[in-house]
Structure 1
Amino acid sequence: MKRRTWLAAAALIAAGAAAAAPDAQRILAASDAVRNPGRPFAVNVALTEFQDGKRADSSTMVTYSRTLSQDAQFATLVRFTAPARDTGKLMLKNGQDLWFYDPSTKASVRLSPQQRLLGQASNGDVVTVNLARDYKATLKGEEDVQDGDRKTRRAWQLELAAAVPDATYARIEFWVATDNDQPIKGRFFAESGRLLKTVYYRRYARELGTERPTELVIIDGLNPASVTLMRLTGYTEKNLPESWFQRDYLPRFQPE
């Protein structure tokens, strides 16, 4: 009888612990909502590459993003604004397709999301992505982690495994603040298991109703002296027509 009582109590404790455990996919979706507005928007993106602390290259663009399908994944149109050699060029992410369009040649070519755009920033880094749609999250634990401003924060540690063929990375280790769902840090891996980059999300500011990261620090997985800063400014809610996000519309696109 005592053994039955003990087993019943153990089962109740285990059930209570399972019920109390946070849901990893919910945490990831909540962090997505911090990174991305839930309505069509435009934002200015500035990339600056540093090698050994010295500025090496830079690029600026405007990204236009909105959801088009029921799975709530974003489509993104990127319009390059600098340097002069790239002004007017476009990049389009819609579903599994990523296209680059050059108005001087009127040709559009398919790109890989993993291909580097500038420094440590890849094509897939500058388009808007809901990670919860592309990755299966597993909760690894809760721990203190240093953020991009070198402050210690309590965070959920998530393990993300690619769940769709066009996911930019094969695996991600991701830390999300336990108190407000803000993404703190990510480690991004190739299929081989090699660490490609570490990203810190920092300089939170109120944009379109929520505190969002306005700067990403992207550090090379092999060479920590190779760093790229991605700055996000001027979030604006936009009425973006679906036609903008079709490949055959790229030659007709006119900036605002």
Structure 2
Amino acid sequence: MKTLLAISFLTFSLTAKAEDPAEWVKKADNIRNPAATYEMKIKVETPENTSVFQVHLKGQDKTLIVTQEPARDKGRNMLMLDRDFHAYVPNLKRSMRLSLAQKLSGQVANGDISRTRWYGDYTVTKESETADEVQLLLKGNKDNLTYAWIRLWLKKGSFQPQRAEYLGLNGKTVLKRAFFEDYKNVAGALRPTTLKIEDTNKQVSHIRILSMGKRDYSDSFFTVRNMESMK
């Protein structure tokens, strides 16, 4: 009897863990942006302009972004430490603290290229599922997030993010839609290399990963002083 109870409890525990939506989101995070040290080169294409950035990441709470193109914007670098976002303005010769939700360009917010973590930042519930996808609702549980609410669709089995709706503070109004596209083998795994972001006026911006690879960084690399000096 005790053996049967133990087996039943173990089966229940494994099933509960397998059905934990937060764990699905954690796996999706690791597909989009591994919790390790990486260097990426990305291109941001918006209706306003096209920019190229060198992005240095350590874990999922330290990001240093160096502007490479256009030439007129060189030196306009950005730094994210946890949920604090800093931007250096060369003309003013000083850095400013900005919001992750603030617009970078077009439909792209600062947090879209710096803080891409969902796991831990959101409370996750499953809303529905089909044969191919699971639909999740993510409610922000911390201050200064890029989006307060996200509706997210993951591919069953692989947990690959497919698309998302970025919602307003009421958790209902759709502000923007995002599509995770162009899956390729990058940095040892199959990852989306294009994020298409569309607003309610059908204006579209793209974030494209041009290259991605592992690189080691010390914590001292991610400082405001270093951000201000990077070229």
Shorter-chain TM-score tier: 0.7 to 0.9
Equivalent of 1:191 in 169, 176, 180: 169
Decide whether the 8 Å contact of 2:178 with 2:198 is kept in 1. yes
Structure 1 residue 20 displacement after superposition: 8.3
Structure 1 residue 21 displacement after superposition: 6.6
Decide whether the 8 Å contact of 1:75 with 1:95 is kept in 2. yes
SS in 2 for 1:131: coil
Uncovered stretches (5+) of structure 1, i.e. residues with no partner = 1-14, 51-55, 68-72, 145-153
SS in 1 for 2:46: strand
Equivalent of 1:164 in 115, 137, 142: 142
CA distance 1:108–1:19, shift in 2 (3 Å): closer
User: Structure 1 CA distance, aligned partners of 2:18 and 2:211?
Assistant: 38
User: Which residue in 2 is equivalent to 1:240?
Assistant: 217
Decide whether the 8 Å contact of 1:59 with 1:118 is kept in 2. no
Equivalent of 1:200 in 167, 171, 179: 179
Uncovered stretches (5+) of structure 2, i.e. residues with no partner = 1-11
User: Structure 1 CA distance, aligned partners of 2:17 and 2:90?
Assistant: 55
User: Structure 2 CA distance, aligned partners of 1:96 and 1:223?
Assistant: 29
Decide whether the 8 Å contact of 1:120 with 1:227 is kept in 2. yes
Matched AA of 1:37: P
Decide whether the 8 Å contact of 1:58 with 1:118 is kept in 2. no
Structure 1 residue 179 displacement after superposition: 2.1
Instruction: Report matched runs for 1:77-226 at 5 Å.
Output: 77-143=64-130, 154-192=132-170, 193-220=172-199, 222-224=200-202, 226=203
Q: Does 1:229 align with 2:229?
A: no
Q: TM-score, normalization: structure 2?
A: 0.88
Structure 1 residue 129 displacement after superposition: 2.4
Decide whether the 8 Å contact of 2:133 with 2:154 is kept in 1. yes
Task: Write out the 4+ residue segments of structure 1 that deviate beyond 6 Å after TM superposition.
Answer: none
- CA deviation digits over 1:68-96, x for unaligned, max 9? xxxxx421111111112211221011022
Equivalent of 1:61 in 30, 53, 59: 53
- CA deviation digits over 1:151-180, x for unaligned, max 9? xxx111000000111221111000010021
User: Which residue in 1 is equivalent to 2:39?
Assistant: 42
User: Which residue in 2 is equivalent to 1:149?
Assistant: none
**Structure number with larger C-alpha Rg:** 1
Structure 1 residue 142 displacement after superposition: 0.8
Structure 1 residue 104 displacement after superposition: 4.2
Matched AA of 2:77: L
Structure 1 residue 243 displacement after superposition: 1.2
Decide whether the 8 Å contact of 1:116 with 1:123 is kept in 2. yes
Structure 1 residue 216 displacement after superposition: 0.8
User: Structure 1 CA distance, aligned partners of 2:103 and 2:91?
Assistant: 22
User: Structure 2 CA distance, aligned partners of 1:249 and 1:180?
Assistant: 38
Percent identical: 28
- CA deviation digits over 1:43-78, x for unaligned, max 9? 11111124xxxxx421111111112xxxxx421111
Aligned residues: 220
Equivalent of 2:21 in 15, 21, 24: 24
Decide whether the 8 Å contact of 2:67 with 2:75 is kept in 1. yes
User: Structure 2 CA distance, aligned partners of 1:218 and 1:248?
Assistant: 32
